Every structure is written in structure tokens, then in C-alpha cells.
Chain A
Amino acid sequence: MYCKPSKFAWGVVALACALGIGALSSCTMPALTQVSSQAFPAPMTCGDCHVEIYDEWRKSPHALSFTNERFRRATDDYRFTQCLGCHAPQPEMVKAEPVARVADREIGVACVACHLDHGALVGPLEPTGFARPHPIRVDREPFENGTLCGNCHQGTLKQWQAAELPDKQDCRQCHMPGVERKITQSTGLVSRPIVAAEDVAPQHRHSFRLVPGDVAGDRLKLSVSVTDRILTVDLKNEIPHHLPTGDFGVRIVKITVMGISAGGASTVLGQWELSNSGNRALPAGQSRKWSMPVDPSVVRATVIVEREGRDGSNRAELAQSEVVIP
């Protein structure tokens, strides 16, 4: 037999919900906030709620910063500990010189490296929901002015700071594409109503992509001209840091001239390099020209600008231009 709930019953439920919400919003999660270099929340823990962010991160270079094969070889099986401050930083790196983490180095640059500060999880966003399972602190500045990234990417930060470009983008605008979404995507029984109660907010994906090709294409001005069978390549870097950039390792930008004969045969006519070391990079806002004679048999030429890391890794095309030889 169905009994119509009494007003009392609605009152109990309402009280229980209020207590539950109050409890959820006021309680803290020590596992997230009480950390040390030996004990800190793993990214997977964060990913319980921040599902998309975790998914983006785990595929990103930050997640692979310690475990990737090139790093292992470059450090002779992690013998060079001075690299670990950035490749496996301990939590609470915000505004501080990175220090190598003792435990769980294989998780690389973990969430807490950037988002933990004095017992609170810090970020540039204002809270978007009513429930706060962990302490939150909003600090936009280090995220927007690159200083957070610059804790490790020190040389690139200096380049970015020195770059004088109109409409200069910050790190996130290229390497963390913008997206509008809720901050969490948890589907658990308890979490779901909390997620449902969150607002959609503009954020940045945590993909930390190395080569934002689409952005680079817009920011790299490649022009090719031929006069008196002299082919001239003019490359202007409007990316707000050197091309290529990077404090360590090998970053090469190759400018390759492919010649196409009347019969369609394609040959490499010439190649030049930019490098992240030895002042051989192209600084922000500057352009560089290369010239070479073109054989009469060449009717068209294609100039390809591409980057690669050591041994040809992470190869990506940045720009391309074609010219008909008059």
C-alpha cells in the first residue's frame, strides 16, 4: 500500500540532503592535499573526477617525461639526477625551482606538480560547482604569464618574455588548446549529481602538445620567390619564442627545398637547419633568408619547414610553400 509521504518525511529528506551537501562541500580529502615527495595523489586519483583532463595528460609529454625511451637513454638509465627535477618533479612546484621527486618517478610531471600549493589545489579557474571535495585556491597569474611553465622551460620562458609581437599568445593558447567544458566528468553514483551541478567554463586541454601545427602554420610566415633562377626562402618567426626552442635535447627545424622536374621527378635541391643550440635558432619576430641557384631542369619547387627531435623523433611539418620556376 502506497502511503503519501508526510510533510515530516519531506522534511527529513530535505534535512538529510542539506546535511549531505553540507558534508560534501565542507569536508576535505587529505589524500589530495596532505602530500610529500613520497606520498602524493597520483594522477589517476585526480582522474577519477577530472576524467578528460587526465585522459589528455596521460597522453601528453608531461606524462611520458620520465618513462620515454629517449629520456632513459639520454640519462643513461636515469643516472643523471639533475634532470629529474623537471622530468619527475616533486609536488608543489609552483613558483619554485623544481626538485626531483623520490617516489613514483614514472608518472613524470604529475598533476600536483603544477596544481598543488600549500595544501590547496591551485588553478586559474574560479570554482564552478557548489561541492568542493578538496581545498581550492585560485591563482591566475602563474598560469597566464608562463612563470609556472618557466619553472622548467626556463629558456623558452625568457624567449617568450623577450618576444615583442602583437597579439602575443601565452603558453596555454598554443600548447593547451582552449575548450569549454565542466571541470569534472565523474560518473559515479555520488559524483554524478555534483558534476551535474557544475557550470561549463572555458578551460585549456592538458595535452601539452609539442608542435601545435595549426598554430605554427599561422605564426610561421614562409615565402618563396625565384629571381633569375635564384630561389630565395624567407621564413619569419611570429611564434612568441625561438624556432626551435628547448633548453635540452635536440630540436631541429629543417628547411628543405624539393625540386620538381618537368617529368615530375622530385629531388632535394637544398636543405638548411635551425637548431635550439648555439644561437642557431630563429628568435621570435625575426626572419631569415636562404638562397640557392636552381637548375634549369626544375620547373617547380616546394619548400617544406619541419621540425624533429633527436634521431628524427617527433617529426612534424610546420609550413610548406610551392613556387613555379619562371
Chain B
Amino acid sequence: MSQPRIRRFSRFAILFHWMVGLPYMALLASGGLIMLQRMGVLRWQGAGWVESLHKWVGIGLVIVIVQGAFAAVVTGRLGTIRKDLADWILIRPRDLLWLIVVPFNILWPRRFRLPAVGRYNAGQKLHGLFIVIALIVLAATGLLMIYRPADLRAWIVHSWVFYGAAVFLGIHLFLGLVNRATRPALSGIFTGYVPREYVRDHHPLVLDEAVPPSQNAVVSWRAMAGTWALALFVAAGVLRWYGPERATEQVLRIGGQEHASISPGQLFAGHSDDPRITSCQTCHQSLEQPPDEACLTCHTEIRTVRERKLGVHGQFDGLCRDCHSDHRGRDADLIAFDTKQFNHDRTQFTLMGKHRTLECAQCHVAHSDHPGNRQFIGISQSCADCHQDPHLATLGDNCSKCHTPDGWNGRQLVFDHNRDASFKIDAIHSGLTCAACHTSEGQPTQFRLGAQTCETCHATVTSAMAGRLDGKSMAADPHAGRVTCADCHDPDAHAPTATQFAARCVQCHNPRYRALFLDWERSMDDRAAAAHEAVLTLESRSPAQFKSLAQSIANTRKAGIHNVQSAVERLREISDSALSPTPK
């Protein structure tokens, strides 16, 4: 015999219940999985799939609710729905009494009778109110989590509402599926009809007739105890499988300092191991999204370049977290960027020449302070940091004076001896080879010759002026120590003639010195020729003496003009020596 049934829900309400309820449960389930995954309780490949599902179902639920409201308006059911909604969630003073009495009713049902209620009791209203508020809050915080992912306030609220929703859903399912007194109402949410007896016991005010107060407890404590026992049994099994210590650790993490349940992932190792980061709020100051200030407190080098508008960081207006979001795992690369697309010109070091062909890691090596990371900021641009100095620091550190990024040698060399070296290659020296002066053996790249004076290479001339000719001490020339080489030698004259030198004489002396200089030249030549003629007489009778004196003539003639009087005397001595019966 079928019991008489009473219609409890309209078809629209049933449809709306399931269209909201199923996604709601899916959201709670996926949300729970996500949190377990974030806490590290569960790990599986493709966790992102659950997160995507959660987001899309959540968005879908919002759409469903909005569409439902739209449909209600379109179908003219808005008034009915509003009335139904008011019945469902408006808690009246006598509902508070119901809530106060209900725990006692569970334990002592005959002593504590629940006040008679209409379509919804206070518990159902509380749940309804919670669901309405929760849906709004979850939708709002969910959207915030998508659009302001690093704002912890949304995450915290979302997670705590989740916990509340889980509790309410648990009670809801328990009452609809397990608890004997309320279980008969389950059919209502499928068919719209519930047994009249159930209505008489739980919602007597719906009936037109007077109904005596129910003698039964609204909740069977046995069912509740059994359910708890089953839950504890299952929990014990899970605990045994999972490991008590791990489980304790994970449980302690819930709501703990690390808020692992809302953490989207492990912090990058450099951050998680940094003793300066003591809590979420070290970065999420005021639980908001981490402001740049939080990053720049530690990353002072970035602060410097941003303040000075230098390099890549100085040119961007964005927030640190726009590029360097964390919580992507200990090994995540926070500074990952597309190295192929990166425009290095935005840095303070424009890649030119052969630098363009380098791999990033050839310059961006391990950070000295954080060996796990490559260094990008504060890399010295000094050539010597990457290139060995073949000149052994003899030429300073400004490589670009001579070299270009296109190459070290040959045509790439921009070295200009007259511009870059202290010794200018004038016309006199223009015919020399490099090796004529840069004679260092074994180190062909060491060009520094020290302080260069004329004497460095032309010591025979200066010593001749000072009175040292052909190894003999003679009278010094009056010019010694009183004139510089440049006083007589024009650096722009490639092959100066005697006439040009003579012209130099009269810059200090009277015009007759012009002719006098030519006399000196002639005198030198004549004396040298005479000496040579005399020395030739030794060629056969004393070859060694011949060779020695011939060399003496050459030595004397070479620098002789710089000390004419002594040179002439020396040449005469050589002649006399060669012509003496016993040459010395």
C-alpha cells in the first residue's frame, strides 16, 4: 500500500537543485583534491587537469545560476522563486529556538520536542543561507583567485568557505541518505513528492490540519554514531596506509603558518630556503599580492637598476610578479624567458659582433651568491672577466681602445699607434716594423715598452753627445743636456737632408751656422774617408785590426755629427792608429 505523498518541490526547483548541486559537489570534490594535492597528501600526474576542471565548473555554475535566474524571469516564475527562496533562507526568531533545541532533541527526543516548522526547518534554512552566501563568496573569491592569483585573502576565504561547505554537504548527504528519520525525503528531490508522514513529522505546518508534535528524533544518534564510526574506521585505514607521521605533518599544515592548502605550489628553492622569508606575509604583506617592495627588500640590485632606469628591469613598468611568479616548485626557473626572442639591446650590454653568437650560459654563469642560479644582474662588463688578457695587464683594461667585438686581430683591430700609444709614429719612424721596437721574446702580445725616450733606441747618439764615442771617452758636445732631439729633428721629415738640418741650426744660432753645419758634415765625411783609406792598408797585414778599426769608423760616423769635434778627433786617432808602424 502506497503511502499518501505530498508535493514538496516543483520541477523547476528540482532542476535547479541538481543543476547547482551536481556542479557544487564536483567543485567541492575537485577543490578538496586540489587542496590535498597542494598539501602533498596526494600526488598524481596532471594535477593541472583537476584545477582546470575546477575553474571551468565554477564558471559554469555561475553561468547556470545566472541563466536560471534569467529563465525564472522569462517564464514568469520570479515571484514564486523569490517566495521559495525567502522560505528557504530567511531565518526567523522561532528558527533560532529550533536550532537551540535540536541537539537536545537528538539525545532526548521525547523530553525535548522540536517546534513545529513549515516547509523548511532552521537547519535547512541555515544550509540554504550558507549555500547562497557561499556560492556568492566562492564565485567572487574564485574569480579573484583567477585574476589576482597572488592575493591570499581570496584564497583564505575560498578555502574556509570550502571547509564550511564540506561540513554542510556532509550533513546534507547524511540526512538525505543515511538518517532514517529524514531519509524518506530523498525521493522529493527526484520526484517532487515526499511521504505525507514525513511531512507530518518534519514540516507539520505545511499541512492544513493540526498535527501532534512528532515523537521521533530528527536525527538518529545511532545513525550518527555509526556514520562517525565508519568515518573513523576509514580514516584509520587511510592513516595506516598514509603513515601517521606524514599525516600528522599534513594535518598540522592545514591552517598552519605555511598555509600549504592554499599554496599553489612549493616555493622556489631560493625563496623557501631563505631564512629571511619566515611566513607568507614576508612577501604577501597584508595577505595581498606581493608588492614589488617585498621583492626589492632582498633584491636590492634590482631596486638599484629600476630606480636608475637601467637595463631590462629599468625599462619595464610591470610588477615583479608579472614575470617572476613563484609557487611553481622548488626547481622552477623564476627568471625563465625566451632566450631566442629576448632583445639583449634592452640590457646595459648590447650584443655586438662575435658576442651575438655566444650561448647565454657562456656569460651568465652560476651566481656567486646563489650557485643554483645563473647570474643576470650585476655581471661585470669588463672584457677581462671573460677574456684572458694576453697583454698581462700591461696595457690597461680598456680593450676597446684597440679591439672591437668583431674580432681581436687583423682588420678588426682599431689600434692606432699615433692615437692610442704614447709613442707617436712620426715620419722618421714610419718605415719601421713592429718588431723593430717590440722585441720582447716569447710574449708577442706584450707591447708595453715602458717609458720611451729617444735614448731608449738611440743610446749611441745620446752617449756620443755626452762624450762617449766608439767606446772611448771624449769631450762632450755643448748641446748635450741643453737641447732635445726634437730641437733638431723634425718628426715629420721622413728623410731629412743636411740642408734641412742646417736650417734647424739657425733657429738658435746665427745664420752662418747654416754653412758651418755643412762644413761639419763635409769634415766628417772627409775624415771618415781618410780613416777608411788608412784602415784599408791593414786589410792584408792585420785583418783583425782592419775589421776592428773599420767598425770603429762606422761607430764613430754613425753618431759623430752629434759631437763633431770629438768624432773628428776619434777618426783622426783611427787614421793615426792604422798608419802607425805598429798599429794598436
Contact = CB atoms under 8 A, between A and B. Distances in A.
A76 B571 CA distance: 11
Contacts of B482: 273, 275
A74 B519 CA distance: 11
Contacts of B170: none
A310 B476 CA distance: 10
Interface stretch (B290-298, B390-398, B494-502, B505-513): B505-513
A88 B512 CA distance: 17
A282 to B, nearest CB: 16
A2 interface: no
Interface string B508-539: 11101001100100010011000000000000
A247 interface: yes
B556 to A, nearest CB: 14
A172 B569 CA distance: 37
Chain B interface, >50% SS class: helix
B520 to A, nearest CB: 8
A54 B482 CA distance: 40
A53 to B, nearest CB: 30
Contacts of A248: 509-510, 512
A76 B523 contact: yes
A154 B512 CA distance: 11
A311 B475 contact: yes
Nearest to B483: A278
A262 B523 CA distance: 54
A80 B568 CA distance: 13
Contacts of B516: 80, 82
A285 interface: no
Contact of B565 (A74, A79, A154): A74
Contact residue range for chain B? 20 to 34
B478 interface: yes
A250 B478 contact: yes
Interface residues of A, number: 18
A310 B523 contact: no
Nearest to B516: A80
Interface string B346-389: 00000000000000000000000000000000000000000000
Contacts of A155: 510
A212 B360 CA distance: 87
Contacts of B564: 76
A278 B508 contact: yes
A113 to B, nearest CB: 19
A161 interface: no
Contacts of A145: none
Given A277-B509, A310-B478, A80 B569 contact: no
Interface string A225-268: 00000000000000000000001101000000000000000000
Interface in B538-584: 564-565, 568-569
A52 to B, nearest CB: 35
Nearest to A278: B508
Nearest to B467: A311
A218 B527 CA distance: 47
Given A73-B569, A74-B565, A80-B519, A247 B512 contact: yes
Interface in A54-90: 73-74, 76, 79-80, 82
A74 B523 CA distance: 11
A250 B568 CA distance: 18
Nearest to A83: B516
A279 interface: yes
B519 A82 contact: yes
B569 to A, nearest CB: 7
Contacts of A154: 510
B510 A247 contact: yes
A80 B483 CA distance: 24
A248 B514 CA distance: 12
A142 to B, nearest CB: 22
Contacts of A73: 565, 568-569
A248 B523 CA distance: 18
Contacts of B565: 73-74, 76
Contacts of B476: 311
A40 B48 CA distance: 132
Given A82-B515, A82-B516, A311-B475, A76 B568 contact: yes
Nearest to A75: B519
Given A73-B565, A73-B569, A273-B482, A79 B519 contact: yes
A279 B476 CA distance: 22
Contacts of A278: 483, 507-509
Nearest to A73: B565
**Residue in B482, B526, B569 with the greatest tally of chain A CB atoms within 10 Å:** B482
A82 B527 contact: no
B272 to A, nearest CB: 69
Given A79-B519, A82-B519, A250-B478, A277 B508 contact: yes
A80 B508 CA distance: 20
Interface in B474-490: 475-476, 478, 482-483
A79 B478 contact: no
Nearest to B519: A80
Interface in A120-172: 154-155
A279 B516 CA distance: 19
6 contacts: A73-B568, A82-B515, A82-B516, A247-B510, A248-B512, A278-B508
Given A79-B523, A80-B523, A248-B512, 7 more contacts: A76-B519, A76-B527, A76-B565, A273-B482, A277-B509, A278-B483, A311-B476
